[in-house]
A and B are shown apart, each in its own frame.
Chain A
Amino acid sequence: EVQMLESGGGLVQPGGSLRLSCAASGFTFSTYAMSWVRQTPGKGLEWVSSISASGSATDYADSVKGRFTVSRDNSRNTVYLQMSGLRAEDTAVYYCAKDNKGGYSYAYGDYWGQGTLVTVSS
């Protein structure tokens, strides 16, 4: 069974940093791209970042470019999202999703984790 388990969310002050992790199981992790998507009540679902199966290519939404970094450890079946310079508008539930293929172009998320809540507030 394909599963993703996110962790690392919590309360952080504006300007602070947080690292999210997503542990995957039930599929050959190293052959699929992975993505992060966030959800807020006000803005709905927003794609944040994707990383290719090998980790050699990454893509970011303009809203997080330069502040967030996606990476993966294929030996640990884990993808990470390092978030810095956090703002109130980054408050959201962050979901990790398995993409349907190795490259993230023309790919969609076919399995999603349950999400982890990030709250940016003083």
Chain B
Amino acid sequence: EIVLTQSPGTLSLSPGERATFSCRASQRLSSSYLAWYQQRPGQAPRLLIYGASSRATGIPDRFSGSGSGTDFTLTITRMEPEDFAVYYCQQYGSSPRTFGQGTKVEIK
């Protein structure tokens, strides 16, 4: 099973600041089968990024993903009030699909 480790666990930012999240895989992910999800309190996860760097339908361009192999990054160029949430990475290149433990972004 591929283990995904996200860092940091919590990020304290102000609106307008840049956010960077890291996701490291215990094994190389073939063809960048990595997705990022956002989860707001009381809501279901929402797909942001798939294939490591492709934005999902309707996702603003302030969200971007990068990386390959074992190291992946999600970047939000300027934090909007609705972006304060928990972010998860997930690999889907091998079964079982696995998730990282999440990074919580809180308002500073």
Interface residues of A (CB under 8 A from B): 35, 37, 44-47, 50, 59, 61-62, 95, 100, 105-115
Contact = CB atoms under 8 A, between A and B. Distances in A.
Report, as a range, how many residues of chain B touch the other chain. 20 to 34
B97 interface: yes
Contacts of B31: 106
By DSSP majority rule, is chain A's interface helix, strand, loop, or mixed? strand
Contact of A47 (B47, B56, B99, B102): B99
Given A100-B50, A106-B33, A106-B92, A112 B45 contact: yes
A59 to B, nearest CB: 6
User: DSSP class of B's interface residues: helix, strand, loop or mixed?
Assistant: loop
26 contacts: A44-B88, A44-B99, A44-B101, A46-B99, A47-B97, A47-B98, A47-B99, A50-B97, A59-B95, A61-B96, A95-B45, A100-B50, A106-B33, A106-B92, A106-B93, A107-B92, A108-B33, A108-B35, A109-B45, A109-B47, A110-B56, A110-B57, A112-B44, A112-B47, A114-B43, A115-B44
A45 B50 contact: no
Interface string B88-108: 101011011111111000000
